[in-house]
C-alpha cells in the first residue's frame, strides 16, 4: 500500500497497465463533512484517473500491478508531498478488509493524523482550504 498523501502544487495522473489497484480518495479542499471513496483501476477497464490538488489519496494493490504515474509539476517531497495515516477514520475511505495490515514504507507507517495534516496544509498554503 502507498499511504495517503495530498499535494498543494501538482496534479497526479494514473493509468493501470497490468493488474489492478484501488485508489482511496477524500476531498480536503472544503469545510464540509469528509466523505471518502474507493475507485478501482484495472487493465481490463483501461481509464485514466486525474487527482487534483487538495484531494487526499492512497493506493492499495491487491495483486502485482504495473501502472503509469504522471505529474503536472516537478516532484517536491518537502513542500508538496504531505501525508497522513492511511487508516485515519476521519478520511472516511472504505478500504477493503484485506487492507487491515498492509505493507507500508517507513514514512507512511509514521504518518500523522488527518487533523495534523490539515494544520500543515493550511500552513503550507498560508490560507485554509
pLDDT (tens place) for every residue of the chain, 129 residues total = 999 999 988 999 999 999 999 999 999 987 777 889 999 999 999 899 999 999 999 999 999 999 999 999 988 888 788 999 999 999 999 999 888 788 899 999 999 999 999 988 877 554 444
d(CA 28, CA 110): 20
Predicted confidence at residue 124, as pLDDT, reads 58
Conformation bin of residue 19: beta by default, left when phi > 0, alpha when psi is -120 to 50:
left
pLDDT at 125: 56
pTM over 0.75: yes
- The three-class DSSP label of residue 85 is coil
Cα(122)–Cα(107) distance, rounded to whole angstroms? 21
Of 12, 47, 51, 50, nearest to 28 by C-alpha is 51
Q: Name the CATH topology of 2-125.
A: Jelly Rolls (2.60.120)
* Residue-wise burial string across 23-50, b where 16 or more C-beta atoms lie within 10 A, e elsewhere: bbbbbbeeeeebebeeeebeeeeeeebe
Amino acid at each position: 500500500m502507498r499511504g495517503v498523501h495530498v499535494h498543494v502544487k501538482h496534479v497526479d495522473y494514473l493509468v493501470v497497465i497490468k493488474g489492478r489497484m484501488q485508489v482511496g480518495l477524500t476531498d480536503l479542499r472544503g469545510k464540509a463533512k469528509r466523505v471518502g471513496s474507493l475507485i478501482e483501476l484495472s487493465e481490463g477497464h483501461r481509464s485514466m484517473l486525474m487527482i487534483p490538488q487538495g484531494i487526499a489519496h492512497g493506493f492499495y494493490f491487491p495483486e502485482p500491478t504495473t501502472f503509469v504515474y504522471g505529474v503536472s509539476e516537478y516532484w517536491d517531497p518537502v513542500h508538496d508531498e504531505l501525508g497522513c495515516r492511511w487508516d485515519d477514520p476521519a478520511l472516511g475511505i472504505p478500504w477493503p478488509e484485506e487492507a487491515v495490515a498492509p505493507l507500508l514504507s517507513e514514512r507512511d507507517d509514521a504518518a500523522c493524523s488527518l487533523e495534523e495534516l490539515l494544520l500543515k496544509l493550511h500552513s503550507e498554503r498560508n490560507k485554509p482550504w
